[in-house]
Every structure is written in structure tokens, then in C-alpha cells.
Amino acid sequence: MSDDPRVSTAILISGRGSNMASLVAAAAEPGYPARIDLVVSNRPGAPGLARAEAAGIATATVDHKAFPDRESFERALDARLREASIALVVLAGFMRVLTPWFVARWEGRLVNIHPSLLPAFRGTDTHARALAAGVAEHGCSVHLVTADLDAGPVIAQETVPVLPGDTAETLAARVLEREHVLYPRALATLASHIARNRA
């Protein structure tokens, strides 16, 4: 596989892996610059693991509850990624805040999707907060992960209109549809950049 120009990529999940599924589908297309080599969950039995296995992708579980602290969990996670020769790490519904140590280890090669048009509505409950603020547009952002939560450089964004009568749930569903379009496009951009710098 050493002559494969695609960038070896791992996806970190905690749950069903809906964004993971869109990334796996995109990576199966000819010419896509990232290759999904590993899916890791911090929760044993996460439904996304079965979805990845069904797609023929290697999976692993690094259960955060099995470790005494965040650092030891992240060191085990980092070791698993390096063992698989991963070059790019994608967070897709990974429900752990990563420490500055891990973020620094993967600087420029760690990416996340956030359900808002960053820098607006960092953190949680983005859809309810967008509605409360009365914004006309909402959306999602793919960004590089830095030690400052949801504050890394934005790679790409997708917008959706906020409609009359929207609830947090209806808005979330519409944003999620755009996430499934945005994340594969943004991952391709980042993987192509990494491949060019590696050449």
C-alpha cells in the first residue's frame, strides 16, 4: 500500500456514525484523496462500529472508562492510531474533549465538524441558541482542532436558512443533511493539502 497516494485516515466516533457513513461512502469513490483505514470508538458497542465493519474497515475500541484519567486514555488512543500508520484523524460524533497534549500531537491533522457557522455558537446546544438569537441562517463548519474548543481554522462551511416555525429538532435535521455533504468535501480538501505537502 506504500504506493497508494491516498492519505491514511482514521475516524473517531462515539455513537451511530452518520457522518462517518458519509465519509466512508465518499472515500470509496475513485480519485478521493483520503483512505479510511480505521474507525475507533471510545464506547464499546457503538453502532457506528458495526457500520464500519460492514464496509470492510478495521475497527477498534479504546474505552475511556478503562483508564484512570484523560491523559492515559489519549495515550492509548494515540498509540492505536500510530500503530495503524494513520496520517489524518477525523472526529465524527466523538463525544470527548481532547487535551492539549493530544491536539498538539496531531496538529494540522485533526479535524472536527461543528453544527454552527463558526465562530458563532461555539460549544453545545447550537440549534436552540441560533433560534433564540433570531438568526436568518445557520449551518455547519469543518475546522482544524486546536486546544481552544471550536476555535480552530475553518476549512469549509454550509449554510441552511432558518425557517418560520423551526424547532431545535427540525433545524438540527436540516443541518445534519448538510453535514453529510460538507464533511466529505472538507476532508478531501485537507487530505489533498496533506498529500501535496508530503510529496
* Catalytically active residues, by annotation: 114
Q: Minimal CA–CA distance to 140: which of 175, 170, 173?
A: 175
Cβ proximity of 115 and 92 under 8 Å: no
* 42 belongs to an annotated ligand binding site: no
* 70 belongs to an annotated ligand binding site: yes
* 19 belongs to an annotated ligand binding site: yes
Strand partners, 139: 159
Here the cell at position 29 is 469513490
Q: Burial-class residue 76 by CB neighbours within 10 Å (0-12, 13-18, 19+).
A: middle
* 18 belongs to an annotated ligand binding site: yes
> How far, CA to CA in Å, does 45 sit from each of 13, 67, 94, 150?
11, 18, 14, 27
User: What is the DSSP secondary-structure string of 93-129?
Assistant: S---PPPHHHHHHTTTSEEEEESSSTTTT-SS-HHHH
Q: Minimal CA–CA distance to 140: which of 176, 168, 116, 173?
A: 116
Give the integer Cα–Cα distance in Å for 199 and 189: 16
Question: 3-state DSSP call for residue 183?
Answer: helix
- As annotated, the binding site includes 17-19, 70, 112
